[in-house]
Every structure is written in structure tokens, then in C-alpha cells.
Chains A and B, each alone.
Chain A
Amino acid sequence: MSTSRGHKVLWSLVGITALLLAGTASAVVLAVQAARTMPAIEVQVDDHAADHRVAITIPAFLVAGAAWAAPRVMPAEARAELEIEMAEAALYLPMLEQLAADFEAMPDATLVEVIDGGDRVRVDKRGGDLLVRVRSADADVDVRVPAALVRSLAGSFAG
């Protein structure tokens, strides 16, 4: 009788553990998938002179988190200056939000292209992203900024 009860408790524990593991695994899979599909600012710099390459990917939640946290952890003096700057910027935030929305809505195109000697700069709109590509003898730079991220940040700051 006691063995049977022990088995029941054991199987219950196994079941609960399996459920918890399955739930955790699903949450991890969903989080990874969300992180992969989440808009992110990407910067790649290939410095020919120093012969090194830097690639930085900043996910949207980090940008939003940093924007939220920075004023709370910075010194009071710097925070006061930032608040003044933000008050001025607040006038432009709804326009920036609208500009990002207009940018998302426009068809894909090369917006700016410059060739000057060996230097080339190209600014493209591809999908919802602003792509900046610089090619020069010193360095190659690639930047990708999702307009949705700019729109969302401008919207959240505009309140």
C-alpha cells in the first residue's frame, strides 16, 4: 500500500518536473525566436588600417532598456542636462515617429549614393530598414537601423 503511494508521489513529481522542463524549454525556444526576429541595430566596421573587424548587434529591448535606465543611473547634473535636451527633443519626437512611419511605408530604394574618388557612400531603404554602407580605403562600415525601432522609441518617449 505504502509502496503504491510512494510510486504515485514519485510519478507525480516526475510529471510535474517534466511539465516544468517542457515549459522552460518552450519559453527558452520562444525567447530565442523572439530575439532572432526582434528588430536590432547592427553596426559592422572593418578597419583596413588596423586590420580588425567589429560587429555589434543591439536588440531593440536593449536600446529601450538603456533609454529607460540611463536617466535613472546617471549623476543628477547630467540627468538635469539630459532633461533639458529631452524637453527640446520632445517637440520633434511625434514628427520623428511620423517620419519613421513614412519611411516604412515608402518602397525600397537607394536614397543617397555618392562616389568621390575611392570613397563610396550608399544609403538604402530595404524592407523596413535603413541601410548605410560606406566603402573607403581606410574602412568599410555597414549600419542597419530598423525604422520600426525608431518609431517605437520615438513613440514611447513622446508618451
Chain B
Amino acid sequence: MTRPNPLRAFAGAALLILAAAVPASAAAADELWLHVSVDETAGAQVRVNLPLSFLETAIRMVPADELRDGKIVLQDAELSVAELRTLWHSLDTAGDAVLVEMHDEREHVNVSRRGGDLLVEVDGPDAVEVRIPGAVVDAMLAGEGDELDLAAALRALAAAGEGELVAVTETDSQVRVWVDTSPAAPALRGR
């Protein structure tokens, strides 16, 4: 019978502890943060930085009649959530497509599905670009009836990873919403 080697046993235990610890620390390092940045040329500057996981818990606490357990019920909307769900799923087979296109003297508005994502682009005196990952729309519409599942959307947003979601450039202000792994946003002017 062979005697147990204490050094090997210690190395094995250390490896087990490391294996258990590394995924936890990697998960903490990869925590995704939602950032909102508003810069008005002659007005307020706002920065909001929150972890997506924290938002998911926080959204369940919003005390509103329309919002329960992270799900919002939209009523009296021109386009019901059920119709929105049908419209979105009908695009699964269509692939990339322009959903809405409007053009006038001042601006050009384009709502499309591209690479699985929902894109809203406004080109004019104010430039607007909104990109919602397709998986987030799927998760948001996964509920029933006129219910939008915001908590599920946040989970899908975390799974989608880093990226810019909203960029609005007006003549006197800029708004950005994005997701990344950094807890910090660009510094405010005059700090």
C-alpha cells in the first residue's frame, strides 16, 4: 500500500481552492455596468454608473401599479405589446429589414432590424442612434399579454456584453447610454 504524499495532497487542495476561487473573481472583474451620460453645453452634466445585476434587483423594487416583479404592463398604448411581439417575431424569418423609414426636409428616420439588433437612427439637426440587441428585445417580449419583462431584458443585456446602446447628439446636448466592464464613466467638466 502506498503512503499518501502530504505535498501532493497539499498541492491538490490548493488547486481545488484556486479552481473554486478563479471563476468567482473573474465574474466580479467581468461585472457589466450600465452607464448614462448627459452633457448639456450650458446646463447640467449627469453621470450614472450602475452594475446590471444590481439594476435587475432594483427594478423589482420599483413600487408602481404598472410595474410588478420587474415586469411592466403597457395599457392604452397605440401599439400593444402583443402586436409588438407578433411584429418582432414575424421578422425572425425576414432577417435584416427596414421596419420604418420616414423622410422630410429636416430629418431622416430609419427603424430597422440589422444583424439581429433593433436599430433606430435619426439623421437631421439632432442625430439619434439607438441599438437594442435582438436578444434583449426577445427577452423583453417573452412575457405574456401586454407585459414587458424588464428584468429579463436586463439579464439579456448582461449576456449581450459590452456596447453602445443610445447616442443622441443635439446642438446643445449629448446623451449616451452604454454597457462596459468599467465602473467609471468619463469625468465631468469642471471637476
Contact = CB atoms under 8 A, between A and B. Distances in A.
Interface of A: 92, 95-96, 98-99, 102-103, 106-117
B51 A106 contact: yes
Given A107-B28, A110-B47, A115 B188 contact: yes
Given A106-B31, A107-B31, A107-B183, A112 B48 contact: yes
B31 A111 contact: no
Interface string B36-51: 0000000111111111
Nearest to B46: A114
Contacts of A108: 183
A113 B183 contact: no
Interface size bucket, B side? Answer: 20 to 34
Nearest to B33: A109
Given A112-B48, A116-B43, A106 B188 contact: no
Shortest 5 CB-CB contacts between residues of A and residues of B: A109-B183, A116-B44, A113-B47, A115-B45, A95-B61
Given A116-B43, A116-B44, A98 B50 contact: no
Interface in B42-85: 43-51, 53-54, 57-58, 60-61, 63
B57 A95 contact: yes
Contact of A95 (B33, B50, B53, B60): B60
Contacts, number: 58
A110 B47 CA distance: 9
Nearest to B51: A106
A102 B44 contact: no
Contact of A96 (B45, B46, B61): B61
Interface string B115-131: 00000000000000000
A121 to B, nearest CB: 9
Given A99-B54, A115-B190, A110 B61 contact: no
B184 interface: yes
A70 to B, nearest CB: 22
Nearest to B29: A107
Contacts of B184: 109-110
A99 B44 contact: no
Interface in B19-41: 28, 31, 33
Contacts of A96: 61
Given A92-B61, A107-B28, A113 B54 contact: no
Nearest to B37: A113
B46 A113 contact: yes
